[in-house]
Amino acid sequence: MIDIKKIRIEYDLLVAQRTGMKDSDELVNNMKHSIREYFINNGCINSSIEQNLLVPTNIYIAPVKEIHESRMVCWPFSNRNEIYVDKVFLNEQSSPELTKCQLTHEIIHAMVRKQNGQQYKFGHKIITQQERNENHNIDERDVFTAFDEACTQIVAEEINGYVVDKETDSYYLIKTIIRTITPFIGRKELLNQFCNNNTSFEDKFNMLFNNKFSDFAEILSIIHDLEKELKNNDKLTEQEKMQINEKLRSHVGFISNFVKNSLGVELIKRPEIVDEYNRMNNDDTENHFDSDYNLDGLRKKYEDMRSYIFTKDENGNKIMVDRATNQVINDKRIIDQYRMLFLWIQATRKNRPSNIIQTNTITDEDLKYAFNENAKDVFSQIMYSIESYVTNNIPVDVNQIANSLKKYNYKYSDDILSELFKNENNKKLVTDYFASAYYMDEEIGSKKM
C-alpha cells in the first residue's frame, strides 16, 4: 500500500502555481462545487452525492504510474477520500487544464460510487475480494469499469469545458461510441444510472438491443484495453502495433454493425472514428471509411466545385446545376457542404486583406490557411464541441468553444470562430452541418426513435 505520509506542501505549491488557488483544499472545494452544480443542473443530484460531498478529500503525490499504471487514483475510505497523483504526470506531462480535468474525474468517483455503504460502477456493485473468497460462484468479469470510467471522463470534460487530447486518451473511442448511442437511449437515463446507481440506461438499452448491454460493455472494455496498450506502451514494435490496430478495427467494426442492425445508424462513419480508423492503417487510408464531413471531405468538395453552378430556383431555394449535364441538385446536405466550404475559407482568411465575397476568387494562399494542420485541429475541435451541444440539446456556447481551442495555441483560431458565428445564418449553417455529420438531424432522429 502506498505510504500516505507525503509532503502535502509540495503538492500545494504545484496547485498554487497551476491554478492560482492557495492550496489543494481550496481546489477540491471549488471542484466539488462545480460537480454539485453540474448534477443539480442535470437533475441527478441525490442524498448520497450530497453526503459524499461532505467527506474530506485529500490529495497526495505518489508514484501512481509505477504502482497503479495510471495518472491518478481515488481510494475511498469510510471517513475520507484519498486521491494520489503521479509526480511525473504533474511535472512533465500535464497542462493545468488537463490536471484539473483529471482531478475532477477522480472527485466524481468519490461522489457517485459510494451509496448506502456499498461501492458501485455504473449501477453495478463492486465485488470485494472477501465476497469473492466466500462465494466462488460470483462472476468475476469486470465488464463495467471501462463504461463507468468513460462516463466519468465525459462528465469531467463537460464540467471543465476541456477535452483530453485524443492522441493520449485511451477512452477516446469508447467515449465516442457512448456519445453516439446516448441520443437514442437518453442522456437523462445515462446520468440517472451513473449518479443513482440504478439500471435505467441499461434497461432501455436492453429494450433496443435485445438484452445485450453486458456484452456491449464487455466489448467496450476490450476496445479500451487495446487503445490503452497502443497509446501508452512506447515499447511496442511496429508489428505489435499493427496487430493491435487489426484487433481494434475488428471490435469497432463489430460494434458498428451491432448498432446499425438495431438502430440503422452508421456508427463507423462518424468523422472522429473515421480519423481513428485511418490512423490505424498505414497504407491506402483513402479507401477506409471516408467521410464527406471532416476537413479532408471539404477539401475534396473544392476540387469538384468548378463542375457546378450555384444559383437559386424560381422559389428562391438554393440549388446546384451540373455544368456538363444541366442536372439540378437540390439536396440540402450536399448544398450545405459547399456553403460550409465557402464559409470555412472565408473564416480562415478573415485576418488577411483579400475578401472572398468581393473577389469571388480563391487563391493558393487561401487553400493553405484553410486546410493546413492548424486548421484541421480547429475544425475538429469545433466539430467535437458542436456534437456535444447537439447531443445534449443545449445552446451552442461560443465562449466555451473558444476556451477549448486555446490548447492549440493557433493565433487565428479566435478569428475563425468569430467569422463562423458572426450572425445567425452562419451559426445555423455551422450547427446544421456538424449535426448532419453526426447523424443527429431531426429527419434521421424521427425515423429511428
Cα–Cα distance measured from residue 268 to residue 119, given in angstroms and rounded to the nearest whole number: 34
CATH topology for 8-115 is: Zincin-like (3.30.2010)
Domain boundaries, given as residue ranges, for the chain? 8-115, 145-287, 295-448
Write out pLDDT tens, residues 106-147. 999 999 988 888 888 998 887 766 666 666 555 555 789 999
Query: In b/e form, how buried is each residue of 108-130, taking b as 16+ CB within 10 angstroms?
Result: bbbbbbbbeeeebbbbbeeeeee
Cα–Cα distance measured from residue 354 to residue 349, given in angstroms and rounded to the nearest whole number: 8
**Per the structure block, which three cell numbers stand in for 326?**
444541366
Write out pLDDT tens, residues 383-442. 777 766 765 567 888 888 888 788 778 888 899 999 999 999 998 888 888 766 654 333
First to last CA, the chain: 49
Write out pLDDT tens, residues 80-106. 888 888 876 666 556 778 888 888 999
Write out pLDDT tens, residues 253-302. 778 777 777 765 555 455 545 454 444 443 333 332 235 567 777 887 78
Write out pLDDT tens, residues 232-249. 888 888 878 878 887 887
Rounded to two decimals, the pTM is 0.57
3-class secondary structure for the chain? CCCCCCCHHHHHHHHHHHHCCCCHHHHHHHHHHHHHHHHHHCCCCCHHHHHHHCCCEEEEEECHHHHHCCCEEEEECCCCEEEEEEHHHHHHHCCHHHHHHHHHHHHHHHHHCEECCEEEECCEECCCHHHHHHCCCCCCCCCCHHHHHHHHHHHHHHHHCCCCCCCCCCCHHHHHHHHHHHHHHCHHHHHHHHHHCCCHHHHHHHHHCCCCHHHHHHHHHHHHHHHHHHHHCCCCCHHHHHHHHHHHHHHHHHHHHHHHHHHCCCHHHCHHHHHHHHHHCCCCHHHCCCCCCCHHHHHHHHHHHHHEEEEECCCCCEEEEECCCCCEECCHHHHHHHHHHHHHHHHHCCCCCCCHHHHCCCCHHHHHHHHCHHHHHHHHHHHHHHHHHHHHCCCCCHHHHHHHHHHHCCCCHHHHHHHHCCCHHHHHHHHHHHHHHCCCCHHHHHHHC
By C-alpha distance, which of 74, 64, 32, 72 is closest to 51? 32
Cα–Cα distance measured from residue 171 to residue 146, given in angstroms and rounded to the nearest whole number: 8
pLDDT of residue 393: 65
Residue 73 banded pLDDT, cuts 50, 70, 90: confident
Contact between residue 412 and residue 365 where contact means Cβ atoms under 8 Å apart? no
Residue 371 banded pLDDT, cuts 50, 70, 90: confident
**Per the structure block, which three cell numbers stand in for 214?**
453486458
Tell me how crowded residue 276 is: count the other CB atoms within 10 A of its CB.
20
Tell me how crowded residue 31 is: count the other CB atoms within 10 A of its CB.
22
Cα–Cα distance measured from residue 82 to residue 87, given in angstroms and rounded to the nearest whole number: 15
| pLDDT beyond 70 at 358 | no
87 alpha-carbon distance from chain centroid: 26
Cα–Cα distance measured from residue 346 to residue 330, given in angstroms and rounded to the nearest whole number: 23
pLDDT of residue 309: 86
